[in-house]
Amino acid sequence: MNFELSQEQKILQRSVREFCARAIIPHAARWNEEARFPMEVIEPIAQLGLLGIHIPERYGGAGMGMLDLALAVEELSRADASLGLTVASHNLLCMDHIYLAGSEAQRERYLHRLASGRALGAWCLTEPGSGSDAGAARTRAVRREGPCGVEWVLSGSKSFITQGSVAEIYVVLASTTPARKQKGLTAFVVEKGTQGLRPGRLVEKMGLWASDTADIVLDDVVVPDAQRLGQVDQGFVDTARVLDRGRIGIGAWAVGIGRAAFEAARSYSQQRVQFGKPISEFQAIRTMLADMATELDAARLLVWRAAVMQDCGQRTTRESSVAKLYASQAAARACDAAVQIHGGYGYARDFPVERYLRDVKLAEIGEGTSEIQKLVIAREVLKGSRT
């Protein structure tokens, strides 16, 4: 076991950190206040190789691994959680579903565009009536013979879709055999501009105001069979593989926000003077900083363990859920403590910590709530293969 990052990984970490200091941190508060998706930074992010980091070079990716992706997502999310979520979901939901379940032709057709940033990706599972219970999906895909062969007609709606109104390429899960619930789901790629596909309302959120979250309407959208991803009725099996990796990304995302909160609190505690000394001299503040540092270290190590296991080709259902569950809760506690350490200024919009606290809450909800992670972990530990 070696905890030292490779030279390449240190360079990646440093270059993302420098990019964020220059191109993201100075603007993040404004983008959030304006509730504006910063499309102008997508090209520079793509040029850094951060779209498709873990996708092989032959499909336009950087050919690196999940640990590299976790390092980059942590750095980006420390700078701006909204942008960190864009990179995590673009890479690990949309691109990964196409990479893991797509045919060679589908990989060739879509991954280059997604890796170059010419197209942003979105991944559409959640619906108004089906969140944790994916098998309750009502979006239907009906097979028919068209003039050019087999085609599918998709109809229904999706909710809370990240990049919902700015994406060019959508992966959509739809029910092909409703009686089979989640075992009857199939995935399709739908491109922007396809007749019948349109973004619905933009969701006004508690946090992540610079992240684009929209409902999606599918009104008799016709796609050829060539745009079906994976086998019919196997969409949820592939989704489980996608989420095993996606949850590592959410863990890294949470650690990045928690780290931003910790760093802000540490620096504030050394400057703020009460009772004639910096508040960092008080034991109560030191205990909070020690807890934050300890829990964020533990969270990062859990994220890295799952990432390294993925890079070694191992199944990480349990490890990904453990990392996501622990990191999201540790980061939420760190953000809450950062507001507390800032006192009244933490509650004011002049300091970024209130934004971190609002943003980080999503980690306990998206890609499976904390309650769902516990169901997954319990199911895995009850199989008894590992402690």
> Applying CB under 6 A, which residues contact ligand FAD?
89, 123-126, 131-132, 160-162, 205, 208, 213, 362, 365-369, 371-372, 375
Query: Residue 372 and residue 132: Cα distance in Å, rounded?
Result: 7
For ligand FAD, which residue has the nearest CB? 131
Beta-carbon contacts of 217 under 8 Å, excluding residues fewer than 6 positions away, are 157, 197, 198, 199, 200
User: What is the closest distance, in whole angstroms, from the C-beta atom of residue 125 to ligand FAD in the complex?
Assistant: 3
- Catalytic site residue from 127, 191, 367, 380: 367
Q: φ, ψ for residue 56 (rounded to 5)?
A: -55, 150
- For ligand FAD, the closer of residues 96 and 151 by Cβ is 96
Contact status, residue 279 vs residue 269, Cβ threshold 8 Å: yes
- For ligand FAD, the closer of residues 18 and 371 by Cβ is 371
367 catalytic per annotation: yes
User: What is the closest distance, in whole angstroms, from the C-beta atom of residue 356 to ligand FAD in the complex?
Assistant: 15
Contact status, residue 184 vs residue 237, Cβ threshold 8 Å: no
- For ligand FAD, the closer of residues 245 and 342 by Cβ is 245
User: What is the closest distance, in whole angstroms, from the C-beta atom of residue 44 to ligand FAD in the complex?
Assistant: 23
Q: At what angle do helices 81-89 and 25-33 cross, to 10 degrees?
A: 90
- For ligand FAD, the closer of residues 130 and 310 by Cβ is 130
- Output 193-200 pairs: Cβ under 8 A, ≥24 positions apart: 194/221, 194/222, 194/223, 195/221, 195/222, 196/154, 196/155, 196/220, 196/221, 196/222, 197/170, 197/221, 199/164, 199/165, 200/157, 200/164
User: What is the closest distance, in whole angstroms, from the C-beta atom of residue 14 to ligand FAD in the complex?
Assistant: 30
Q: Read off the amino acid at residue 192.
A: K
- For ligand FAD, the closer of residues 19 and 356 by Cβ is 356
User: What is the closest distance, in whole angstroms, from the C-beta atom of residue 206 to ligand FAD in the complex?
Assistant: 8
Residues taking part in catalysis = 367
